[in-house]
Amino acid sequence: MDHYDAIIVGAGPAGGQCARELALRGKTVLLIDRAKDFLENNYSSGGGPLQMMEEFAIPSSTVGTYWNRLAISSTSTQANWEADVAFGPVLDFDKLRAFLAEETVKQGGEVRLSCSYQSHALSNGFVQVRLKDLATQEIFPVKTKVLVDATGSERKVLLKNAYDKNQAMAVTGIEYHLNVSPSAYAQFAQSMHFFLGHQWMPQGYGWIFAMAPNRLKVGVIRYFQNKQYLPYDPSYRHYLDKLLALCGESEEGDIIDKHGKTIYYTKGQKEKRHAGPVIAIGDAISSINPLGCEGIRHALVSGRMGGEEIIRFLNQDIVNFEDYDKRMSHYFGRKWLYSKYIIEHLVTSRKDSFVDRVVNSFRLLSNQDIIDIIFHYRFFPFFKAYLTYPFHRLKNRYLK
């Protein structure tokens, strides 16, 4: 029976970063994933701030493009920001996952695709794990000192599928990748464009991101999937078609990929994060921020923190993962709570004019202000702009 210091179930950003951290420190690690290759489950819009590239030593080879333009549209208005230098990258999700897996292997770790977790049990200070080779259907046992749940919202390992999804905020997104003409691409080149308001996606938002030359990411997301706070067409394609129309004439063959995912976000991140030698990371602990569903950066953070605490555990510096729990709670802090409150209030408002006013108030924000809001969850500039917007509007009318 093969024996490891750690087995990580799920090769997304959290699992890949955790495996990378452990392999770099000389620990024997096995990273598994159900996918047969990293092109499967390519579900991430991939946008993020520039600092994440240096913070996690992510190479430019994983970047589809860099963005230096940001736009937020509502039903009746639009706010824009632009800079001479890049605000951040739009990552190729499959290339990022492949990079993290390759880094793990380079440092002596092992990666197995087409492999699924079946069950586990504690035995004599170790975790006995049953895995399944999806190519041969063979079920085989392995042994590990630490088992890591990086299965995302499925939470298959730590909670053993006992997660109550009815108590979570369900968020469902669908994204298309499509080839477009050079003239259509020029409208969105080096940009991230968000669409709020009832016209674009009631109870959610849409987006068009530059992905690579003459290629765009077009998607929509709906919050509170199991509830209806606003009237909306149940078909996601109805709203996707509105965004696709902005990308110029296209044929069905121009759409090169379609993918979707439902994330179950636990309000307040109150789900269990560890039990004995089993810990959870990434979306399995609701690391995604609810404001704009930015997930990659926070998954990488949880993977790194989890890896650091596993190393301490393996070195017998700690006997449990209480410190990991505290570190993640500190990282989330009140920012996730405020983010959830703001997005809930925004997307469930029955007054489309309220969304228009929010976007109009955004126009008072500087480049740094908007980056601080959407990536660092510092909301004071937003509240200041929202409250003072009526006075700016009156002032402009008076000056005219």
Answer for the pair 225, 172: CB distance below 8 angstroms, yes or no. yes
167-263, CATH topology level: D-Amino Acid Oxidase; Chain A, domain 2 (3.30.9)
Burial of 375 from C-beta contacts in 10 A (0-12 / 13-18 / 19+): buried
Reply yes or no on whether the pLDDT at 396 is more than 70.
no
pLDDT digits (tens, 9 = 90+) for 99-115: 999 999 999 999 999 99
Instruction: List Cα–Cα distances, 331 to 126, 301, 328, 341, in angstroms.
Output: 30, 9, 5, 18
Q: What is the mean pLDDT of the chain?
A: 93
Least confident of 167-171, 251-255, 302-306: 251-255
Reply yes or no on whether the pLDDT at 250 is more than 90.
no
CATH code given to domain 3-61+91-164+266-340: 3.50.50.60
Domain with CATH 3.50.50.60 in the chain: 3-61+91-164+266-340
Confidence (pTM): 0.94
- In 3D space, the residue among 122, 121, 97, 96 whose CA is nearest the CA of residue 111 turns out to be 97
User: Can you tell me the distance from the alpha carbon of 248 to that of 251, in angstroms, rounded to the nearest whole number?
Assistant: 10
Residue with the larger pLDDT of the pair 388 and 298: 298
pLDDT digits (tens, 9 = 90+) for 11-69: 999 999 999 999 999 999 999 999 999 877 666 667 899 999 999 999 999 999 999 99
pLDDT at site 363 = 94
Domain with CATH 3.30.9.10 in the chain: 167-263
Quick one: average pLDDT of 164-168? 85
Task: Compute the Cα dihedral for 226, 229, 235, 241 and give only its sign.
Answer: negative
pLDDT digits (tens, 9 = 90+) for 278-301: 999 999 999 999 998 999 999 999
Give the end-to-end CA distance of the chain in Å, rounded to a whole number.
80
pLDDT at site 226 = 81
Find how far residue 296's CA is from the centre of its chain: 4
Residue 348: other Cβ atoms inside 10 A: 15
Residue 264's DSSP bridge partners are 170
Reply yes or no on whether the pLDDT at 398 is more than 70.
no
Task: Compute the Cα dihedral for 224, 228, 229, 234 and give only its sign.
Answer: positive
Written as six digits, the tokens of 51 are: 């600092």
Under the phi-then-psi rule, with left for phi > 0, alpha for psi from -120 to 50, and beta for the rest, what region is 398?
A: alpha
Residue with the larger pLDDT of the pair 118 and 256: 118
* Share of residues in the chain with pLDDT > 70 (%): 96
